[in-house]
Structure 1
Amino acid sequence: MLSPTDPAPDRKSLPEVDFDLDDLDADEEKYLDFYRKVAVHEDMLVPLAEHHDGPHSYYVLFDRTTTWGHPGMPQVLAVHLQRDREKRTFSFEHAPLPLPAMAQSWLIHRGCPSDAIALAPLGPPPADEATRALELRLAGEGDHYAMGYSYTSDDPDDMVIVVALRALDERAPSPFRVVVEEVDTETWTHTLREGGFDTLGEALQWCDDRLAGEAGPLPPVRPAAAVSRPAGLPKAPAPRPPGRSR
């Protein structure tokens, strides 16, 4: 998580995003749509990761304007651009998401190579291997879940992001998950943890309690082996990847 109060890196040294659309203005309606939804605050978008492959560009962006907007809004923006140089037009998809790993997942499942969208060393680094492992899994398995709720708090005294997810496979153990990112401002590192819940209400209540500083430990995610099938029933097929969730 970045914020206007970040001790590192220096805000003046933050990289700038370049969408490379200067010569693609034939479709005025599309350009205006892109401007309103993405580029209106272009000078406040910080590229956390980007990859360019021919006509395709993929971006993970931190939107510094959201900290002054509606409280709790996601601060990460995933953008997929497709350019047609011959027709001088372009199309785009975008999604505001609470965590960079979720933005990586969104882009990977729109054609970006998973090994090409690594995050730049901006913001607090992972505090431990558990955080790294969970971020890697979220980036790779994000299409297994649908986001139901998120809240981003950049309060310097309690920088935290909570996300409630629903497993798309209804037979999954712990069908509702909560992922929580917390920043330690003294060590300038972040941790990412997840917990499993049986109902959406329980997941949302834990999120509310955490934002109020009253939450207990996250309950563990039940392993898949804990779910049994009646004898003789064939194994169910894997769920199909979802379409756009936003």
Structure 2
Amino acid sequence: MNDSLGSAFDFGLGEFTPADAASEEAVERFRPGDLTALAQHHSTPNSFVVAHDRSATWGIPGAPQVVAIAVARDLSRSTFTLETSYHATVPFAQNWLVERGCPPERIVLRGNDYLKPADDLTLQVEQQIRESGTRYEVLDTHTSDLGPCEAWTLVHDSSAGQAPVRVFHEEWDYDAGSYTMREGAFADMGAARSWLDERSGPLPEPPEYSDHNGAVIRARIARIALARSVGAATPQAGSDASRTPPPGPAQRPGQGRLR
């Protein structure tokens, strides 16, 4: 074990050395005491983790609090690379890990301690982000633990024929123990910024929700609803999540958000 990574994040790197200066610097910056693992998948030769960084709560206002961690080991050289990337919401962190080779189903949050998706549309939007590849260019993010309790990610959608600037807005209801994720569409950055600043109306629905792609979206939501009804989201025996559900995100504002 590499002591600098801490026992809570034992990636089994005791016999390995950093492969490059960036990985060495990442290890030096790594502060496992500030992190709570939300989902993780370990294999040979890779490890993938989604974690909440509680130190971000007390840092720059609005800073992202979810960190994705990817470790790749070179067994023949006994070296490793370690990368981290910060995100406002879990699905974007998952997307970053999936792009680095993590199976999507292995990095899904499971367990009874998390805030629950409020509806099937939330699950559909999260799946869309998680499986989007390089479709979204992140332009800005913001996280708020107090009034309102929310996080948003502003992106450019390279696949959008209309309204290519998108806002993915996540809002938490701690009393209900649930959260929603919604996608809004805007013609340009100015319109998106105006909505975020003023909240003068509902989040504008993407045009594809009402065109021929709307049938695809509704079909996906129906499949999600069916899967939930038959318990398809139950962790499989032997999976990382079913063995040790990580600490949950249902903390109150001001105590650190873990969703």
Q: TM class by shorter-chain length? A: 0.7 to 0.9
Alignment partner, residue 206 of structure 2: 221
Whether 2:126 is the aligned partner of 1:135: answer yes
Give how far 1:31 is off. Answer: 5.5
Give the conservation status (yes or no) of the 8 Å contact 1:172–1:224. no
Q: How much is the aligned-residue C-alpha RMSD, in angstroms?
A: 2.3
Q: CA deviation at 1:130?
A: 1.2
1:1-246 mapped onto 2 (5 Å cutoff): 16-25=8-17, 29=21, 32-37=24-29, 39=30, 41-121=31-111, 122-155=113-146, 157-169=147-159, 172-209=161-198, 214-223=199-208
Q: State the shift of 1:143 in Å.
A: 2.0
- Which gives a bigger RCO, structure 1 or 2 (Cα 8 Å, sep 6+)? 2
Gaps of 5+ in 2: 1-6, 213-259
Shift of the 26–219 alpha-carbon distance from structure 1 to 2, 3 Å rule, reads closer
Distance 1:65 1:18 in 2: 20
1:88/1:98 Cα in 2 relative to 1: closer, same or farther (>3 Å)? same
Instruction: Give the C-alpha shift of residue 118 in structure 1.
Output: 1.3
Structure 1: 5+ residue stretches without partners: 1-14, 228-246
Change (3 A) 1:225 1:125: closer
Q: Identify if the C-alpha distance between structure 1 residues 144 and 27 changes in structure 2 by more than 3 Å, giving closer, same or farther.
A: closer
1:184 CA drift (Å): 0.7
Give the CA deviation at 1:144.
1.0
Instruction: Name the residue aligned to 1:238.
Output: none
Return the alpha-carbon distance in structure 2 between the equivalents of residues 144 and 25 of structure 1.
Answer: 34
Identify the residue that residue 245 of structure 2 maps to in structure 1. none
Structure 2 letter corresponding to 1:131: T
- TM-score normalised by the chain length of structure 1: 0.75
The equivalent of 2:218 in structure 1 is none
Deviation, 1:29, is 4.5
CA 1:166/1:95 → structure 2, altered by over 3 Å: closer, same or farther? Answer: same
Write out the 4+ residue segments of structure 1 that deviate beyond 4 Å after TM superposition. Answer: 26-31, 224-227
SS at match of 2:62: coil
SS in 1 for 2:124: helix
Tell me the CA shift for residue 48 of structure 1: 1.3
Match of 2:84, as an amino acid?
H
Contact 1:25 1:31 in 2 (8 A): no
Distance 1:125 1:220 in 2: 23
TM-score calculated relative to the size of structure 2: 0.72
Instruction: Number of aligned residue pairs: give it.
Output: 205
